[in-house]
Structure 1
Amino acid sequence: MNHDVIVLGAGLAGLAAARDLNAAGADVLVLEARDRVGGRVEQTVLPDGRLVQLGGEVVGQAHTAYLALAAELGLTLIPSYVAEPGRIARATAEGVSAGDPPHWFGPGDEDGHRRAAAAFVALARTVDPHDPWSHPHADALDRLSVGAWLRSEGASPAVVRLWEIGQLALASGSCERTSLLAALRKHAAVPGDDAYAYEDWEGLRVAEGSATVALRMAEQLGRRIRLEAPVDEVTVRPGGCRVRLADGATLTAEAVVSALPVGPLRSVAVTGVSEARLASLHRQRQAVAAKFAVAYDKPFWRGLGLNGLSECEGVLGSTWPQSEGILSALIPPERYGVLLGMPAELRDHELLCDIARLYGDEAHQPFMSALRMWGTDPWTQGYVTQWSPGDVMGVGPLHGTHEPPFYVCGSDQWVAGYMEGAVRTGRAAAQAVLRHG
């Protein structure tokens, strides 16, 4: 059977694209390799009714496409962990401390940190987030790492360490392996007075659960979604495209929308698309990261005057409270290998030891925990885009654009905020398909 559009992937991007195409009257089919929809958003329900988010969960005021979609789906946005009272905790080899400044700061480091942040914000104002390649010093900014730039600005080792622990808390890779141009572009897309404004980025969550965004779109699409249907090959031709599944079945459509993460997309044989476009898509890399979610009877860290938010130099990169008594954590790329190198049955214990170091022995007694190894999940192969020095220029201005009848979307194809990026680019891809008829 021939379709108007075949969408590859039933994550937020693919579902958002398919929903808009379907609403416009297009005959759309969504192909998903997993046995569920949602991609990197996923949730489970505890016996007491609490929802645990096993994937993406927070957005912010700057994430307008996501907020608009949530409203259309009748969902409720409420404050996230940013509203939680208490102090941040930081765990390093020297010990654990709470609040600011961090325990390794010495005289002059607070002022140095403020100067570095102000210089970063000022430089970000010179970058067009939609066209960073047009910056007069784009090559030089892309070759420079954030860490190298900080040192060139006179930042002390203690200040660089604070930026590094914060960067790894976000699990997008070390500031020593992050392109300055990429970091500036990200800030330019969500500008603010600080290097990272938590309220703009992470101040909100969906009360009904972030995975409910995907589930409600899937309900609207119904039988237009085909699960357990991994794609092996895509042939793109004007007036007709062919998609071959791993089981040998062949489907045809007038257009194809790829909402696959860049890692899995590299395993799909795509023909009929320019070499330059494929080179741009394949040049991207993803942060090999993991998420850990753990549920307790109560938020016992509050008794220590802590808010559940942490930045760490152990295996964990960070923790934060996703809801009452439930903690989330990220494992950054630099520490992912620690988990891969141990028997799977020991991983939860290793991570709980890091949490106990922050919040005490009660951390060893959760009644539920779940680890999602995104970096080695064959249908994800990573977390957010990791822009190493040279990558922005290497990917080039074809990034996030289309070559009808082949369209791309997904969190990898935007600049900042992976759930926002998925929704924003998914809906934009649908509009582009409809414009080209």
Structure 2
Amino acid sequence: MGDLTRRSLLTGSVASAAAIGLPAAATAAPSTAPAGSSARPTTRADVVVVGAGLAGLTAARRLVAHGHSVVVLEARDRVGGRTLNHPIAKGKIAEAGGEFVGPTQDRIVALAREVGITTFDAYDSGNDVYQRGSIRLLYSDTSATGTAPPDPTLLVDIVKLSQQIDQMATTIPIEKPWTAPDAAAWDEQTLATWVRANAVNADGILELLAPFTEALIGAEPEDVSLFAVVAYVAAAGDAKNVGTFERLFNVRNGAQQSRLVGGSQLVSQRVAAALGHRVRLGSPVRRIARTAHGVQVESDRLTVIGRRVVVAVPPVLAAQIQYDPLLPVRRDQLVQRLPMGSLRKVEAIYATPFWRAAGLTGQFLTTGGPVGYSFDNSPPDGKPGVLAGFVGGAQNLKWSRHSPAELRAAVLAQYARLFQDDRFLKPEGFFEHDWSSERWSRGGPTYTPGPGTLTALGPALRAPVGHLHWAGTETSDYWIGYMDGAVRSGERVAAEVHASL
């Protein structure tokens, strides 16, 4: 299913709404624009939602179910935020953005089921490939190290450091991680600094960690605060299951265990179709101003007068909105210090996933790039075969200086070399999506807090400011940076706003 356009949003919205329990969307009646405003049309709603990704759409859906009038303003000409379906062949898709779900990610799975979308297992039969320098291994993720490679030169550190981080994560209060006993000390250093102080083979471990962090947050171990990493690990669970380092990285019993039939963007498309005219595409919000009775939200296409506003976009984009009056200093400083990671996905399409017959999962982990981590991204029936990879952090910055053709050649050569099969050199198709160059994302998959940011300013991340409320996966308690975190944040903020109206 392709991107949801303005026309497809409106078609069938009444039937879709009835199917998932929402009242049919009514067209908002324009009202007279206030004196001094631009000529853009003006309408009214109880709640204005900025952003039609999973967070904003979840919030809107819940608020409508509570009986509130809602308008969703989306800058793009599509819904879905950092999820994006890419057509590949005969109505089939591959995801160019977020796609995986796994144990304890129950909120995204529940929402998907509510709109008629099921899951299927990510392909994980056979051996993974690992290469670092002269070391090349084939290994199964059913071994003791899971997705982490059993590199004999690093095994002691892999076990030791992962256990240490898991233990550190147990001390994190999920709703207020910055109050952890050691938060300040951990936030004074980067992940790389901590590794150098605790690893036997620090250089080797940092070399191994780079492709993990490049794929996971779009940054290097030197870029991100140790405390932010520990809090991120702690969030990889739910109220009954403590977050672990292993759950973040593993496919089997981990965050990459399953995918959504029809592609992850389909969830947002179906929710938006049910919301109908409430969702306005091509409407980037430029200004949010407090009024005597609420808020005035000005986008390029529409001004909305509301009682509350939910800003459900990444912090770096929320910072670009003009606020009147200015935001409190702590909130303003926070969003200036939360850059997005740098990440692109590259995907090669073949007639079949021939690597499966060779006993390979399609997953590799390697150092030196451009791709650090690959995976089998084929449709549920395995036709065609799709091999996807992450180019993140410093690798993405490096390859942004090269042409698409040069990157394509380098990726295919890397696939052929690592899997030792020249068939990878001749795909039937190839596409890439650089989230760092997308105007309304500015990077991915999530933010990358540096030292000192979250302990000093973290409480402002989701605390309402007057009539302003904040959502988005970065504001979640569990599964920060994931689709599940986005849905959780939308549910939280909907309850918060409903209680305030």
Q: Secondary structure at the match of 1:175?
A: coil
Q: Which digits, 9 at most, give the CA deviation of each residue in 1:248-304, with x for residues without a partner?
A: x53211111111122222221122332322222332121011112222111122244
Note the C-alpha offset of 1:409. 0.6
State the partner residue of 1:407. 469
SS of 1:284's partner is coil
Asked if 2 retains the 8 angstrom alpha-carbon contact of 1:8 and 1:30, the reply is yes
User: Could you tell me which residue of structure 1 aligns to residue 427 of structure 2?
Assistant: 366
CA contact (8 A) 2:55 2:486 kept: yes
Paired residues of 1:29 and 1:224 also in contact (CA < 8 A): yes
Query: Is the aligned partner of 1:185 residue 2:227?
Result: no
Alignment gaps of 5+ in structure 1: none
- Report 1:375-386 matches (<5 A): 375-383=436-444, 384-386=446-448
Shift of 1:305: 2.7
Structure 2: distance between partners of 1:344 and 1:161: 26
> Which of the numbers 259, 275, 296 marks the counterpart of 2:312?
259
CA distance in 2, matches of 1:223, 1:61: 35
How far apart, CA to CA, are the structure 1 residues paired with 2:192 and 2:138? 24
Q: Which is worse superposed, 302-311 or 57-66?
A: 302-311
> Which residue matches 1:317?
372
C-alpha contact (below 8 Å) 1:281/1:395 kept by paired residues:
no
Indicate the SS of the match to 1:331. strand
Query: Counterpart of 2:195?
Result: 150
CA deviations on 1:131-167 (whole Å, 9 max, x unpaired) are 1221222111011222222232243133343333332
Letter in 1 for 2:396: Y
Corresponding residue number in structure 2 for 1:135? 180
Change (3 A) 1:48 1:148: same
- 8 Å Cα contact 1:308/1:319 also seen in 2: yes
Q: Is the 8 A contact 2:48 2:306 kept in 1?
A: yes
Residue 116 in structure 1 maps to residue 161 in structure 2? yes
Give the 3 Å change call, closer, same or farther, for CA 168–97 of structure 1 in structure 2.
Answer: farther
SS in 1 for 2:442: coil
C-alpha change, 1:306 and 1:124, in structure 2 (3 Å) is same
Q: Contact 2:130–2:138 (CA<8 Å) still a contact in 1?
A: yes
Change (3 A) 1:102 1:433: closer
**In 1: Cα distance, 2:164 partner to 2:151 partner:** 22
Match of 2:417 in 1: 357
| Closer, same or farther: CA 238–356 of 1 in aligned 2, 3 Å | farther
Q: Is the 8 A contact 1:171 1:331 kept in 2?
A: no
Partner residue in 2 for 1:342: 402
Measured after TM superposition, the shift of residue 422 of structure 1 is 1.0
What is the TM-score of this pair, normalised by structure 2? 0.81
The 3 A distance-change label for structure 1 pair 124 and 238 is farther
Q: Tell me the amino acid that sits aligned with residue 348 of structure 1.
A: R
Check the 8 A contact 1:404/1:436 in 2, yes or no.
no
How many residue pairs get matched? 432
What is the Cα deviation at residue 10 of structure 1? 0.9
Letter in 2 for 1:298: T
Structure with more of its chain in helix, by fraction: 1
Q: Is the 8 A contact 1:4 1:27 kept in 2?
A: yes
Structure 2 Cα separation of the partners of residues 103 and 26 of structure 1: 54
Offset of residue 395 of structure 1: 3.0
> Would the aligned equivalents of 1:316 and 1:331 in 2 still touch at CA under 8 Å?
yes
Within a 5 Å distance, the mapping from 1:267-278 to structure 2 comes to: 267-272=320-325, 273-278=327-332
Q: Larger deviation: 385-394 or 210-219?
A: 385-394
Q: Deviations over 1:375-424 (max 9, x none)?
A: 12110001111122223224321222222411111112225242111111
Q: For 1:63-212, list aligned pairs within 5 A.
A: 63-81=105-123, 84-94=124-134, 96-99=136-139, 102=149, 105-106=152-153, 109-157=154-202, 158-190=204-236, 195-197=245-247, 198=250, 199-212=253-266
The one-letter amino acid of 2:436's match is G
Within 1, Cα distance between the matches of 2:212 and 2:152? 15
- The whole-number CA distance in structure 2 between the counterparts of 1:207 and 1:117 is 33
3-state SS in 2 of match to 1:174: coil
Q: Aligned partners of 2:401, 2:476: CA distance in 1, in Å?
A: 33
Q: Distance in 2 between matches of 1:419 and 1:47?
A: 25
Query: Identity, % of aligned pairs?
Result: 28
Change (3 A) 1:46 1:224: same
CA contact (8 A) 2:217 2:447 kept: no
Is 380-389 or 300-309 further displaced after alignment?
A: 300-309
Aligned to 2:23: none
Q: Whole-Å Cα distance in 1 between the matches of residues 200 and 300 of structure 2?
A: 52
- The answer to whether structure 1 residue 427 and structure 2 residue 480 are counterparts is no
Aligned equivalents of 2:150, 2:448: Cα separation in 1: 29
1:170 deviates by: 2.4
Task: Give the CA RMSD over aligned residues.
Answer: 2.2
Whole-angstrom CA distance in 2 between matches of 1:401 and 1:77:
34
Distance 1:25 1:210, change over 3 A: same
The within-5 A match list for 1:23-42 is 23-42=65-84
Q: Deviations over 1:54-95 (max 9, x none)?
A: 2111011111221221121121122223xx112222244546
